[in-house]
Amino acid sequence: QVQLVESGGGLVQAGGSLRLSCAASGNIFRINAMGWYRQAPGKQRELVALITTPGDIRYADAVKGRFTISRDGAKNSLQMSSLKPEDTAVYYCNAHTGGGSAYLPGSSWGQGTQVTVSS
């Protein structure tokens, strides 16, 4: 019901910055939250940050103070600063549209974008 396209991943040295962007299309009026999740090699996919349509924001403890999520209509962005090697993962945009808690993963996912942080 919602299509998501991510961009902005790449290779960066530890301490550097990257900005990820996600463009949503389709039934965007249904979106009650957008967020970012990541999956590192050998690990489960985990929440990075989310923002509800009313504007409430949640961050994973590991990224608090370093990452900032924002939303401008159908575009969702994640500003990542002070990057660490442990931030290396595939980052996925997510949109919650199916009812239930807006603080849980939604049903729409982007294709993922690789972020690699070297030491």
At 19-36, the pLDDT tens digits run 999 999 999 999 999 999
pLDDT of residue 99: 82
Taking residue 107's Cβ as centre, other Cβ atoms within 10 Å add up to 14
What is the full DSSP assignment across the chain? -EEEEEE--EEEETT--EEEEEEEEESGGG-SEEEEEEE-TTS--EEEEEEETT--EEE-GGGTTTEEEEEETTEEEEEE-S--GGG-EEEEEEEE-SSS-TTS--SEE---EEEEEE-
* Tens-digit pLDDT profile for residues 47-88: 999 999 999 999 999 999 999 999 998 999 999 999 999 999
pLDDT in tens, 35-51: 999 999 999 999 999 99
Q: Is the pLDDT of residue 6 over 90?
A: yes
Q: What is the pLDDT of residue 15?
A: 98
Total Cβ atoms within 10 A of residue 25: 10
Query: Do the Cβ atoms of 115 and 8 come closer than 8 Å?
Result: no
User: What is the arithmetic mean of pLDDT over 10-21?
Assistant: 98
